[in-house]
Copies of this chain bind each other. A is one copy, B any other.
Amino acid sequence: MTGCDVLRVPADGECDVLRGQDIVVADGVIAEVRPAAPVRPAPGDDVVDGRGLLAVPGLVNAHTHSPMVLMRGAAEDVSVEAWFNERVWPMESNLTAADVRLGARLACAEMIRSGVTTFADHYFFPEQIAEAVGETGLRADIAPTYFSSRGQEALEETVKFAETWHGAADGRITVSLGPHAPYTVNDTDLRTLAGHARRLGLRTHIHAAEHLEQTQSSLERRGSTPIGVLYETGVLEAGALIAHGCGIVEQDLPLLAEFAATTGVACCPKVYLKHALSPLTPVRELLDTGVAVAVGTDGAAGHNTLDVWEALRLVALTQKQAVRDATWMTVSGTLRLAFRGGARALGLAERVGALEPGMRADIVLTDLSGLHCRPLHDPRAALVYSTRASDVRTVVVDGRVLMRDGVLLTVDVPALRAETDARVARILDTSHGRAVQHYDP
């Protein structure tokens, strides 16, 4: 990668931009970031011309259900209860393994195109997602969704998936265990899964404290907050990626702080706004506890896109307003969440999230020459407040080019689109009255 500017995202303080750098990659790892110099590439070297472009770390989508792209736009303007019980969970009961494979491939294609290089997935038919990740070249942490209503055999299958797939695709695939939520998975199962997580050195990816009503309901029904349940059942101790956490309350903070090094919270504001939830993820309080806060989209049945640029912008905007402080959730702070926060939340901080020697080479070249970015007083501000997914030009994961100058290299988009269009009518049909689960948190 030659002659590009490079975004530096430090663990603390302001981000900055190094002008005119070469990024040298060897064996999928960043070997060096150095001022650009004319070099003669050795035979077999793949040189990407980065002149005029800004290299940023690959974005991390810290919480999604990738195959739900199949239901994009099919559940609008409904309450959160109707969204689950009348639309999404009935549609999900239609899904076959082949549908999930297709949806995951479509999602991977969309994420590559928008500069996402790593995603945390939580879904059914996880093998299909793993295959799609393997094929398309992305990096993913995959959690197989588990409800207690599915029974012990299903639980054992999720553990078997973890044992089989963790570390696959040259390490690009990691696995977390995936109990859906404390209101759909009982404490016994949570304890069992936490035990497996500790045994296997994995984390748990779980929806918890999605909104304040859920926290209140949990307190009334059982005397513990959802975070309290994760603490009591050993889920937090084993390490957890918590989706949403909008209902995290003050008494939860010390519990999270105790295991801060291995806890992440994924903030997905577009779906909170769309589902009219309030308050939002308490990001300021969470950062104070030391847990990793990351940016996610959630599934496209709610978020409509898998665009992490859109999500990170909404994190900045909504968090400023939530705490009534325009000077907070700064440009640098927001970029830190999206890159380093995402990496930490997925337990991948040693591998991705920054363009530094020793990190896996997950690199995104963005073009900030568009009219919506000019004049370019501050490229960091442009990344948070002006950039669109369509400004992503080239995407590299683990040193392999997945998109070059806007052309996807690992996905046949027309074939994928045709196959999708052939399946959607069946997937949207909810006349059967089935559902994967009933929502009543």
Contacts and interface: CB of A to CB of B under 8 A. Distances in A.
A382 B304 CA distance: 8
Given A77-B331, A274-B320, A326-B78, A388 B385 contact: no
A86 B209 CA distance: 41
Interface in A78-105: 78-80, 83
For A72, A278, A417, the residue with the greatest tally of chain B CB atoms inside 10 Å of its CB is A72
Interface string A251-290: 0000000000000000000101111111000000000000
Interface in A299-331: 304-307, 314, 316-318, 320-321, 323-328, 330-331
A139 interface: no
A331 B390 contact: no
Contacts of A273: 317-318, 320-321
A270 B274 CA distance: 15
A377 B424 contact: yes
Interface stretch (A17-25, A128-136, A178-186, A367-375): A367-375
Nearest to A316: B274
A421 interface: yes
Contact of A321 (B276, B316, B331): B276
Interface string A341-360: 00000000000000000000
A113 interface: yes
A74 interface: yes
A121 to B, nearest CB: 17
Contact of A374 (B74, B79, B106, B276): B106
Interface in A379-423: 381-382, 385-386, 388-390, 413, 417, 420-421
Interface residues of A, number: 65
Contacts of A375: 69-70, 72, 420-421, 424
Tell me the number of copies of this protein.
2
A332 to B, nearest CB: 9
A337 to B, nearest CB: 14
A5 interface: no
A156 interface: no
Contact of A113 (B71, B327, B371, B420): B371
A206 interface: no
A381 B306 contact: no
A305 B385 contact: yes
Given A375-B421, A377-B428, A277 B321 contact: yes
Contact of A274 (B317, B372, B420): B317
A372 B389 contact: yes
Contacts of A83: 326
Nearest to A376: B73
Nearest to A269: B317
25 contacts: A72-B375, A72-B382, A73-B385, A76-B330, A77-B327, A77-B328, A77-B331, A80-B326, A110-B372, A272-B321, A273-B321, A274-B317, A275-B320, A276-B324, A276-B325, A304-B372, A304-B382, A304-B386, A305-B386, A314-B317, A374-B417, A374-B420, A375-B421, A388-B388, A390-B390
Interface of A: 69-74, 76-80, 83, 106, 109-110, 113-114, 270, 272-278, 304-307, 314, 316-318, 320-321, 323-328, 330-331, 369, 371-378, 381-382, 385-386, 388-390, 413, 417, 420-421, 424, 428
